[in-house]
Structure 1
Amino acid sequence: MQCNVCEFGCEIDEYSRGRCRTYVCTGDTIIQDPDMGYLGAYPVSIETIPLLHYYPSGKFLQVFGTGCNFQCSGCVARLLASGKSLSSTTLTPSQVVEKALQQDCLGVVSTLNEPAANYYLFRDLAVQAKEKGLLVGCSTNCYFTEETLNKLGQLVDFMNVGIKGYSDRSYISCGVPSSAPVFRNISLLFDMGVHVETSVVYSRGNEADVIKVAEAVSDISPTIPVQVMRFIPFGDAPIELEPSVGEAESLCADLRKYVDYVYLFNSPGTELLNTYCPECGSLLAEREFYGPMGSRPVRPWITYSCDCGKTVPVKGTTAVERFNEEGFMGGYRISRAFGMVHGVLTCLGILDDSRLIDVWREISDSGTLMKVHHMIQQPYAYLDFVRLIAERANMPEKGEELISFIHTRLELVKSLAAENSGHKVYYCMGSPLFALNAGRMENNLVAFSGGLSINKQLQKEGKPGINVSPSFINENNPDTIFISGFLSRPLDEFYTLCRQYGIETDAVKQQRVYEVPPSWDFGNPRWILGLMYIADKLYPGNSGIDLEKEADEFYRQFYGMPYGKATPNRSFHRPTSGTWHVLRCTHA
């Protein structure tokens, strides 16, 4: 039989489950795999979905399953998209609704994997949620057939539609023949009164295509928000495709010629998460970076109109009390937890995704995830995380091998720090004004190396950091500045921003600003190399650390490749094989 959920129209019979791998055929009917359910349900703020013009600061229950009809390079939720079952225990729609009511959520929202892969499950959830007065929405690639969309549009209140690009070429790279159904469906949803916001991936080289997206959205309505997702190579995609934050900000300025509301994500410190009046340019709502593809209001957005008389189209009222997620919960951060487990398993020599799935089953409850969140923030505690994963994977000996490698280097740096201390350090992510939280691993690596982290003075919490003023940096006058290896910014852009903001610290004057190599300071066992990198920069010529040798030993022992042949990416999983040399490309 032919599936009619999305435009692929897969033939599904007793031997085939379609592209999503989540549907089965019984007699003359296609149904959801009976074993399918929701793998997780966590309360989140609406801005982490992200939606910015819908019930600002509202608390919603985020749910996700498995399966996707697209096959995109660099997918942030690759395992969820694969359609493989990640848990023996799942939630039914009625259980999800019960959780939403118990936790005082305004509604439920399906994210992370594609709801087209769980259409019948999501439809049942929507019906039951609406019966209880809950709002319903999803993040989707919106490749539904027109017939399915007309039915779904009667059940949902809001959607964030992820657009791959305007050209068919941008969709072909995801195994999809054409972009036309997506723009058709956005128009249909808008006409049906569904609140629609759009997101588009911007990778270096597709600027013209992103502009065409804005033009096409404007043809439907210039009031539909366009969220620009700066491409981050979390998967195997080459790091050269990642545009700088500055490049992304420049593109957003071009998009404002077509649509009224343009936002930039995956870019710590940018001001383009804010809402500005399209008529006079006044600041109307202020937000800050809040993890992958997320944002957080700096203060409640109460008034949706500008002093000039322009009204911003916002549905719903602002929540009285803002909800803050903890640990890995909220938006796409759960995918980072997958990546951290994957990173350890890879170093243990486990490359089979099914083994990752087995381990994930045992640690995916919210209580264990919270413990993991704390384990990964301190050097010695991280060893307990490795031991936990190795035990769950039944690879204790290999786990102790990794622990031994890390522990030996920890003792080396500890001895070095005992003889050298007092060097003031500032650690930021993406922008000079976006400071990493005091308790994060990166700042703990600085402290472990004997440095004095000025970030430790910051009391305000955020994910993964907060905006600070130039005066905070100048008054503390750090000797060295490190830029995160997770979300970075080229040094030429960084120094330009320092001049623009009036940052005149010793670190800037003496050009002691360093980009930590990608994924070397957080999220995977390579942080031990990041620790040695930090120590080497704090005590140049006095550390006794041969970083090239240490990196080569680690890569050969735990990735099976020489360091010189490794091509970096932002993935916690592993580098890919290539010829790009990290250290020589990251010196000031």
Structure 2
Amino acid sequence: MQCNVCEVRCEIDKHSMGRCGTYVSTGNTVIQYPDMGYLGALPVSIEAVPLLHFYPSGKFLQVFSTGCNFQCPGCMARMPASSRPSVQQASLRPSKIVEKALQQECLGVISAINDPVANYYLFRDLAVQAQEKSLLVGCSTNCYFTSETLEEFGQLVNFVNVGIKGYSDRSYRNCGVNSSAPVFRNISRLFDMGVHVETSVVYSKGNEDDVIKVAEAVSEISSNIPLHVMRFLPFGYAPIELEPSVGDAEKICSGLRRYLDFIYLFNSPGTELLNTYCPECGSLLIEREFHRPFGSRLVKPWVSHTCSCGGSIPVQGKASTESFNETGFMDSYSISQDFSMVHAVLTCLGVRDDYKLMDVWGEDKLMDVWSKVSDSKTLTQIHNMIRQPYSYLEFIRFIAEIANMPEKGEELVSFIHKRLKIVQNLSAGKSSYNVYYCMGSPLFALNAGRMENNLVTFSGGVSINKQLQKEGKLGVNVSPSFINKHNPGVIFVSGFLSRPLDEFYALCQKYGIHADAVTQHRVYEIPPSWDFGSPRWILGLLYIADKLHPGKLGVDLRKEADDFYLQFYGMRFKEARPNRSFHRPSSGIWPHTQTLYNDLKIEIPKQGSTKNFGNEIIQPFNILPASKIKLKG
């Protein structure tokens, strides 16, 4: 039987569940995997999806499941997207979701993280039941539906955020499908059907022309459709060289205003391009701040959608007078991040090939870990464990116990514990420096209770971030006067989302920041994932301690990095090509799998081409994932 949910049109039979891995054949028709339900349902602000022109600050119940019809390199949600359904998912059926949404006084339900294309029949049941209770229904989707499915889908949803991979067919082939045409066709049709549509596109170095063409194509449908530019964050195999700086992203966004009235920039802490400006006169109408990757939050409620010049902003629905802010790890991005941090520990325990994670470790065990870390109580427990150096050791033991790898867990704990003692002895003398920890922009301060600031205090530094009363998901905007008043002698820029130091110093000059750390050039960019999200934070701690106690640490940082990478990743530090992944130390292929690719001819399905890679490292942006590659000879 052919599945007609999306344009991939997989053949489903007793031997195949299709690309999504969530559909089965009855012999006469294709249905959802029996007893499939949702993995989680958590309240979020609508800006977290993100949607910025639909019921501003509204509280929605976000749901997610497993499976995806795309195979995008660098996907942040690869674990839920690649996993297969399990009977453990049956607990959250559509009726339960609707009941929960009503109990928590949500305006509606949103499907996100994995694509509803993979759970279409489940999503359809949810949408019908939600509409019966007057709940709004929407989703974040790649919108690769067939025309026949889209006609039904358009009747089920009130709003969508369509993630556009690019304008060219090549950008879609990189995700394992053939063409971009169905996506633009479907956006146009949904808009004509009266669905509220917002769009997103990823901007990476080298695809500037593609992003511009996306804006042009969307403008031909309507110049009022918001376009969210997602500054590319290299995860998985993606090299960090593909990541544009925040400054580069801001420049391209400014140019896109020629085509569309509302351009927003995400993944860029401190940017002013999350704000809404009047397209008529350019006045600032509503201010937002970075809340996390892919998300934002309103600084104050958006009450009026009309500018003083008379221009009106197309916003659908009534704005909430109070913003709903998710707490702890109770939201979609945080769940994806949470699983990434679990994956980071598993990697250090020996599960090193993320593309073959389920083959190496076993689907059942993966789902077992998933089920045990996806409930709200456990997520809160994890959130607390990863905030302090010593409690992080309990996080490692927790994951190692679930994975039945306690000896490997203790090996990692022992390595970290030994280095903690070194820093603890050093910090007994305290540091003379006030320390400021920011992310991306000098005006975006990391929250006081985050691991990064706790690494500073553990090293003997005085964290000025601890003076902040306001909290956000990752951090909050601060004024130049806050920084100047506390005069940090050292500034650290987060290893998760950073900005080139030349841009950073230029912004300090622009904002009038003249703290000692700036004037004396003691601003340091932490290596990616060396301060949060991965056990590599122990190397970040050593790096921080060395800067706060110059010449006193007594250890060779390069040797420490080599020892860690060799023991837990099977490679030397100098062999690593860092990116933003928590679980991967390198954007290249693991050394222990590299020989598999040497001197092989590789056939790309549906493209019929072969290439002898010799001893080159494969660039996965030009091929399908390893599971779809046929090796010849």
Letter in 2 for 1:308: C
1:538 aligns with 2:568: no
2:454 paired residue among 441, 444, 451: 444
Secondary structure of the 1:154 match is: helix
Cα displacement string for residues 258-290 of structure 1 (whole angstroms, at most 9, x for unaligned residues): 000000001111111110111111111111111
Q: Which residue of 2 aligns with 1:407?
A: 417
| Pairs within 5 Å for 1:146-185 | 146-185=147-186
Give the conservation status (yes or no) of the 8 Å contact 1:45–1:330.
Answer: no
Superposed displacement of residue 444, structure 1: 0.3
After superposition, residues 375-394 of structure 1 pair within 5 angstroms as 375-394=385-404
Q: Against the structure 1 CA distance between its residues 223 and 254, is the aligned structure 2 distance closer, same or farther, given a 3 Å change threshold?
A: same
Aligned-residue offset at 1:339:
0.5
Question: Which deviations, in whole Å up to 9, do the C-alpha atoms of 1:82-111 show, x marking residues without a partner?
Answer: 142367143111111111011110000000
Aligned to 2:384, which of 352, 357, 374? Answer: 374
Deviation, 1:356, is: 3.7
CA distance in 2, matches of 1:521, 1:11: 45
Paired AA for residue 375 in structure 2:
D
Q: Is the 8 A contact 1:507 1:513 kept in 2?
A: yes
Greater Cα offset, 418-427 or 432-441: 418-427
Q: State the AA in 1 paired with 2:76.
A: V
Show the counterpart of 1:18.
18
- 1:244 and 1:291 map into 2 onto residues whose CA distance is 17
Q: Deviations over 1:322-351 (max 9, x none)?
A: 211112222322100000101111111134
Match of 1:517 in 2: 527
Question: Is 2:215 the partner of 1:221?
Answer: no
Gap change, CA 1:251 and 1:538, over 3 Å in 2: same
Letter aligned with residue 63 of structure 2:
V
Matches within 5 A, 1:30-69: 30-69=30-69
- CA–CA distance in structure 1, aligned partners of residues 83 and 534 of structure 2: 25
| Alignment partners' CA distance in 2, 1:342 and 1:392 | 13
Give 2:58's aligned amino acid.
G
Q: In 1, Cα distance between the equivalents of 2:588 and 2:153?
A: 45
User: Separation in 1 of the partners of 2:366 and 2:517?
Assistant: 42
1:243 aligns with 2:244: yes
- Which range is displaced more, 542-551 or 82-91? 82-91
Alignment of 1:312-351 (within 5 A): 312-351=313-352
Given that 1:292 and 1:333 are in contact with CA atoms closer than 8 Å, whether structure 2 keeps it comes out as: no
- Residues 348-407 of structure 1, C-alpha deviation per residue, up to 9 Å, x if partnerless? 113433344332222221001101101101111111111111111111121111111111
Listed one character per residue, the Cα deviations across residues 133-156 of structure 1 (whole Å, up to 9, x for unaligned) are: 000000000010111111110111
Take 2:455 and 2:303, find their aligned partners in 1: how far apart are those partners? 40
State the AA in 2 paired with 1:182: V
Superposition CA RMSD, Å: 1.3
Q: Scaled by the length of structure 1, what TM-score is found? A: 0.97
2:401 partner amino acid: E
Q: Deviations over 1:300-320 (max 9, x none)?
A: 000001001110000001113
Residues 237 and 587 of structure 2 are in contact (CA less than 8 Å); yes or no, is this contact kept in structure 1?
A: no
Does the aligned pair in 2 maintain the 1:137–1:157 contact within 8 Å? yes
Equivalent residue for 1:586?
none
Distance 1:235 1:373 in 2: 23
1:142 maps to 2:147: no
Structure 1 residues 87 and 42: CA distance shift in structure 2, 3 A: farther
Structure 2: distance between partners of 1:86 and 1:282: 51
2:75 partner amino acid: C
Amino acid at match of 1:56: P
- Which one is further off, 327-336 or 158-167? 327-336
Q: 1:170-221 deviations in whole A, cap 9, x for unaligned? A: 1111111110110011000010000000000111110110000000000000
Tell me if 1:309 matches 2:288: no
2:437–2:445 contact (8 Å) kept in structure 1:
yes
- Partners in 1 of 2:366 and 2:14 — Cα distance? 28
CA–CA distance in structure 2, aligned partners of residues 69 and 541 of structure 1: 53
- Number of residues paired by the alignment? 580
Does the CA contact (< 8 Å) of 2:12 and 2:25 recur in 1? yes
Partner-residue secondary structure (3-state), 1:426: strand
In the TM superposition, structure 1's runs of 4+ consecutive aligned residues that sit over 6 Å from their partners are none
Is residue 125 of structure 2 the alignment partner of residue 115 of structure 1?
no
Q: 1:527–1:30: structure 2 CA closer, same or farther, 3 Å change rule?
A: same
1:567 maps onto 2:574 in alignment: no
Structure 1 89/146 Cα, relative in aligned 2: closer, same or farther at 3 Å? closer
Cα distance in 2 between the residues matched to 1:283 and 1:112: 31
> What is the aligned partner in structure 2 of residue 585 from structure 1?
none
- CA shift in 2, pair 1:532/1:21, >3 Å: same
SS of the aligned residue for 1:43 comes to: strand
Q: Tell me which residue corresponds to 2:2.
A: 2
| Structure 1: gaps (5+ residues) | 580-588
Q: Could you tell me which residue of structure 2 aligns to residue 497 of structure 1?
A: 507
Aligned residue number for residue 583 of structure 1: none
CA distance in 2: counterparts of 1:363 and 1:116, whole angstroms: 25
Q: Contact 2:431/2:548 (CA < 8 Å) preserved in 1?
A: no
Please state if 1:454 is matched with 2:473: no
Q: Find the aligned partners of 2:418 and 2:226 in 1 and give their Cα distance.
A: 51
Q: Which residue of 2 aligns with 1:262?
A: 263
- Partner secondary structure for residue 329 of structure 2: coil
Moved more, 490-499 or 230-239: 230-239
TM-score norm. by structure 2 comes to 0.90
**How far apart in 2 are the matches of 1:431 and 1:310?**
31
Letter in structure 1 aligned against 2:422: L
Q: Deviations over 1:224-268 (max 9, x none)?
A: 000001111122211111111000000100111100000000111
CA contact (8 A) 1:234 1:569 kept: yes
Q: Match for 2:491 among 481, 494, 512?
A: 481
Q: Quick one: distance in 2 between partners of 1:525 and 1:463?
A: 21
Structure 2 distance, partners of 1:519, 1:540, is 23
- Structure 1: distance between partners of 2:226 and 2:466: 37
Q: How many Å apart are 1:419 and its aligned residue? A: 2.1
Shift of 1:540: 1.9
Instruction: Mark the CA change 1:326 to 1:86 in structure 2 (over 3 Å): closer, same or farther.
Output: farther
How far, CA to CA, are the matches of 1:120 and 1:243 in structure 2? 38
Answer yes or no: is 1:507 the counterpart of 2:507: no
**Structure 1 CA distance for aligned equivalents of residues 367 and 287 of structure 2:** 39
Deviations 1:430-473 (Å, cap 9, x if unpaired)? 00000000000000000000000110000101010000000100
Task: Give the letter aligned to residue 293 of structure 1.
Answer: F
Cα contact 1:86–1:361 (8 A) shared by 2:
no
Residue identity opposite 2:414 in structure 1: S
Instruction: State the Cα deviation string for residues 31-86 of structure 1 (Å, max 9, x = none).
Output: 00113211100010000010000000000000011111111000010011114236
Q: Name the SS of the counterpart of 1:303 in structure 2.
A: coil
For 1:345 and 1:146, how far apart are their aligned partners in 2? 41
Q: Once the 2 structures are TM-superposed, how far is the Cα of residue 577 of structure 1 from its aligned partner?
A: 6.6
Distance in structure 2 (CA, Å) of the matches to 1:416 and 1:178: 58
Residue of structure 2 in register with 1:102 after alignment: 103
**Secondary structure of 2:434's match?**
strand
CA distance in 1, matches of 2:69, 2:40: 20
Secondary structure in 2 aligned to 1:24? strand
